[in-house]
């Protein structure tokens, strides 16, 4: 007996069978397990801020809440979560799906830069990172040596493992600190200065203690004593009352000081601050000036990394073993994989896609 004959003679039976087959198919489809999920990068940005010596309650009130208030108005935010502990503030911002993580990170940097003046002076510059949902910005460094006690290990770490300095106010560099920066081999040849602007009138309105001339002279003395030192700096673009001539002085400061690691912050008004009561610049002018400053830093950096070709550098291996940072904080890619965390000697060979390429010296 053929199926077609049965369907013709018993149409109701055939219809019921067809419906049952359809239902079984739908149930089976809905019950299929998902074995592989797509590789997605959710638009999540984190802000980490160090306030050494501060209690968790102080960090919460003077750092975390200030940054949260500044970040709250960014377009596309879904959630903001924060954690304050002794000496550290961590904020995670999750954006709506479809938002470019690069664009989101730039918006976060702009807001964080605008809130910098409202943070305590002892706070280190906040670090903005693009992270995965389950990423954890924590590094554990274990130091051990057979036969050494904890006291001996602690003493060795205190004396020999010296972190890079971060955002130093030029007026705080006295003779002793200057000698350490330029003569102590354990201090990396990389200093980040809190310059903020290159015009004396703007610096005065910012209530900064240094002048343009002091900054230029300080960098000149640093480079004269330690020629391989790399200069980084924080600079604000579009501060209230800044005219074209004042802004030109900031651009010129980048060239005068040879700033190769620049943190450029577009000015963002904060209610209740003295700067908020000054005549404000149009947002488009602020963005244009921030771009001009970034371009000036990029020009200085391009010349600087070109001069490193052929040199020997010590590199701390990171990024999966194929890249790392040198002592002067230059970023290099290696010609072969090395163990992460190891310091290796490399020879800089060329530049590819604006990144230094190096070969490991065996």
Answer yes or no: is pLDDT of 32 > 80: no
Predicted confidence at residue 199, as pLDDT, reads 94
Distance between CA 331 and CA 333 in Å, rounded?
7
Give dist(CA 64, CA 56) in Å, integer: 10
Label the pairing between strands 88-95 and 190-196: unpaired
Q: Mean pLDDT over residues 230-242, rounded?
A: 92
Reported as a single tens digit per residue, the pLDDT across 106-143 is 888 888 888 888 888 888 888 888 764 344 443 445 67
User: Alpha carbon 186 to chain centroid distance?
Assistant: 24
The pLDDT value given to residue 95:
85
CB 241 within 8 Å of CB 279: yes
The whole-chain average pLDDT of the chain stands at 84
For residue 88, is pLDDT > 90? no
pLDDT mean over 101-105? 81
Overall average pLDDT of the 185-203 stretch: 90
Which carries the bigger pLDDT value, residue 113 or residue 246?
Answer: 246
Domain 44-130 shares a fold with domain 162-307: no
Q: What is the pTM of this model?
A: 0.56
Token couple for 11: 């149409």
Task: Enter the tokens of residue 309.
Answer: 């070709």
Q: Candidates 3.30.1330.50, 3.40.50.300, 3.10.20.600, 2.40.50.140; correct CATH number of 312-360?
A: 2.40.50.140
Task: Say yes or no to pLDDT of 7 above 80.
Answer: no
Contacts by 332-339, CB closer than 8 A, 24 or more apart: 332/356, 332/357, 332/358, 333/357, 333/358, 334/358, 334/359, 334/360, 335/359, 335/360, 336/360
Contact 317, 334 (CB under 8 A): yes
- Tell me the DSSP string of 273-311: SGGGGSPPPPHHHHHHHHHHHHHHHHHHHHHHHHHTTT-
Predicted local confidence at residue 15, as pLDDT:
83
Q: What would the two tokens of residue 279 be?
A: 């005549």
Give the pLDDT mean for 59-65: 88
d(CA 347, CA 85): 42
Pick the CATH number of 162-307 from 3.40.50.1000, 2.40.160.210, 1.10.8.870, 3.80.30.20: 3.80.30.20
8 A C-beta contact, residue 65 and residue 14: no
For residue 167, pLDDT beyond 70: no
- Angle, in degrees to the nearest 10, between helices 212-225 and 244-257: 10
Q: Which residue has the higher pLDDT, 74 or 213?
A: 213
Domain ranges of the chain: 44-130, 162-307, 312-360
Whether 24 has a pLDDT exceeding 70, the answer reads yes
Q: Specify the CATH number for 44-130; select among 3.30.70.1430, 3.40.605.10, 3.40.718.10, 3.30.930.10.
A: 3.30.70.1430
The answer to whether 97 touches 89, Cβ cutoff 8 Å, is no
User: In the numeric block, which tokens belong to residue 238?
Assistant: 């579009």
What percent of the chain stands above pLDDT 90?
31
35 vs 30: which has the higher pLDDT: 30
CB 181 within 8 A of CB 222: yes
Q: Residue 295: pLDDT band by 50, 70, 90 thresholds?
A: very high
C-alpha span between 259 and 198 (Å, rounded): 12
Task: Count CB atoms within 10 A of the CB of residue 149.
Answer: 9
Q: Of 16 and 157, which is predicted with more confidence? A: 16
Element (H, E) at 128: strand 127-130
Confidence label for 164 from pLDDT (cuts 50, 70 and 90): very low
């Amino acid at each position: 007996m053929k199926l077609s004959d049965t369907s013709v003679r018993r149409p109701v039976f055939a219809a019921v069978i067809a419906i049952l087959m359809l239902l079984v198919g739908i149930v089976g489809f809905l019950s299929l397990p998902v074995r592989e999920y797509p590789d997605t990068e959710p638009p999540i940005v984190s802000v980490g801020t160090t306030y050494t010596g501060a209690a968790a309650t102080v960090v919460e009130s003077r750092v975390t809440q200030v940054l949260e208030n500044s970040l709250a108005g960014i377009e596309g935010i879904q959630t903001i979560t924060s954690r304050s502990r002794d000496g550290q503030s961590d904020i995670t911002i999750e954006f709506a799906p479809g938002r470019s993580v690069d664009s989101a990170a730039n918006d976060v940097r702009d807001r964080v830069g605008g809130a910098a003046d409202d943070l305590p002076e002892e706070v280190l510059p906040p670090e903005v990172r693009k992270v995965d949902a389950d990423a954890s910005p924590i590094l554990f460094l274990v130091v051990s040596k057979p036969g050494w006690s904890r006291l001996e290990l602690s003493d060795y770490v205190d004396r020999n493992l010296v972190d890079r300095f971060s955002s130093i106010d030029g007026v705080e560099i006295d003779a002793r600190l200057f000698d350490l920066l330029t003569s102590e081999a354990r201090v990396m040849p990389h200093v980040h200065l809190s310059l903020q602007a290159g015009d004396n009138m703007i610096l005065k309105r910012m209530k900064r203690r240094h002048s343009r001339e002091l900054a230029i002279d300080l960098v000149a003395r640093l480079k004269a004593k330690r020629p391989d030192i790399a200069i980084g700096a924080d600079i604000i673009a579009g501060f209230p009352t800044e005219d074209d001539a004042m802004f030109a002085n900031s651009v010129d400061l980048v060239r005068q000081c040879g700033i190769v690691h620049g943190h450029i912050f577009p000015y963002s008004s904060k209610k209740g601050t003295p700067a908020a009561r000054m005549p404000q610049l149009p947002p488009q002018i602020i963005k244009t000036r921030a771009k001009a400053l970034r371009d000036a830093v990029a020009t200085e950096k391009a010349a600087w990394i070109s001069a490193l070709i052929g040199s020997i550098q010590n590199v701390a291996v990171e990024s999966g073993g194929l890249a790392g940072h040198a002592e002067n904080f230059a970023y290099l890619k290696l010609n072969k994989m090395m163990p992460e965390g190891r310091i290796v000697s490399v020879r800089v060979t060329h530049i590819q896609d604006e990144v230094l390429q190096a070969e490991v010296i065996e």
